[in-house]
Amino acid sequence: MKPRVMSLVIFTCVVGLLIAPIKVNFFNAIFSILAVALGSGAAGALNMWYEADLDSVMSRTCLRPIPTGKVTKNQALIFGILASLISVVALYFFSNLVASFILATTILFYVFIYTIWLKQKTPQNIVIGGAAGALPPIIGWAIATGDIALQPVILFLIIFIWTPSHFWALSLYKTEDYRKANIPMLPVTSGVKTTKLNIFVYALLLFPIVLAPFFLEYFGLIYLLFSGILGFYYVFICYRLLRANETKLEKKIAKQIFGFSIFYLFMIFASILIDRII
């Protein structure tokens, strides 16, 4: 169920829920979030079902449950389908039709558009496919309000524009994995130089989008302080990667970018809650 990925999904969904103008009672909120978590895990299980053969040849994924024989492909498929259905129905029961529809769309998009269609066909797989991972704040908002507004859409854009630099940094120091699996990630199809440039460009694009909630008066100075400092540092390390001209250093900085990007996204959403509380 990819619990590490799921934890970030749940957190961004909770933030979307908590900043909504309508408050949800504790019982419904908890079970709605659990439904989203189940849906996220179901999508992860279906991803691993479809990519079991690829996972077995990649060092990063070869110890997942299917390649190691702990779970069969059929078990993963059945679990993924049942968990998907239960999560969507449960979210409808504990919240509303809009939230459950967005969750269903997220699961279907991740499985069919990203995993089955895009991932093995285009180096833009993570750019387009990143939409699935960016939807949780909108789901959280919809759980509370039953609709969609500009504020959660801005949070969607933050995650959506963050995703390419995050995953391309990973693919830079795991290029051989993707080459062995014949997955057309950007370093495999276009080379290191192009990948570094794209990482830097997306870091630059992300910076004003991260600051936008302050200038739209959604959040205050605390948010601006966190987002400004973190955003500037992210652009800086991506620039360092762009200027690096030695393979060992490139991989070291790419690994640093990948690790920091997770912290960066977490702290952006954490600062939203801190700003609201204060």
Domain boundaries, the chain: 1-147, 149-278
Model pLDDT for residues 24-70, shown as the tens digit of each residue: 999 999 999 999 999 999 999 999 999 999 999 999 899 999 999 99
Q: What number is the average pLDDT over the span 182-203? A: 96
Asked if 135 and 156 touch (Cβ cutoff 8 Å), the reply is yes
Give me the pLDDT at residue 5, please.
87
Residue 4's pLDDT band, with cuts at 50, 70 and 90, is confident
Give me the pLDDT at residue 186, please.
95
Q: List alpha helices for the chain, DSSP H.
A: 3-18, 26-50, 52-57, 73-94, 97-108, 125-134, 136-145, 150-173, 175-180, 186-190, 192-215, 221-243, 247-277
Domains 1-147 and 149-278 share a fold: no
CATH class entry, domain 1-147: mainly alpha
Alpha-carbon span 66 to 45, nearest angstrom: 10
Alpha-carbon span 163 to 29, nearest angstrom: 27
Closest CA to 152 of 92, 206, 212: 212
Is the pLDDT at 125 greater than 90? The verdict is yes
Is the pLDDT at 127 greater than 90? The verdict is yes
State the pTM of this model: 0.96
Under CATH, which architecture does the 149-278 domain have?
Up-down Bundle (1.20)
Is the pLDDT at 105 greater than 90? The verdict is yes
Amino acid type, 217: E
Q: State the CB neighbour count (10 A cutoff) for residue 156.
A: 22
Distances (CA, A) of 201 to 209, 215, 238, 247, 256: 13, 22, 9, 20, 17
Counting residues of the chain whose pLDDT is more than 90, the rounded percentage is 95
Q: What is the pLDDT of the chain when averaged over all its residues?
A: 96
Model pLDDT for residues 212-268, shown as the tens digit of each residue: 999 999 999 999 999 999 999 999 999 999 999 999 999 999 999 999 999 999 999
Q: What number is the average pLDDT over the span 104-112? A: 97
Give me the pLDDT at residue 63, please.
93
Give me the pLDDT at residue 73, please.
96
Alpha-carbon span 107 to 143, nearest angstrom: 17
Counting residues of the chain whose pLDDT is more than 70, the rounded percentage is 100
Residue 278's pLDDT band, with cuts at 50, 70 and 90, is confident
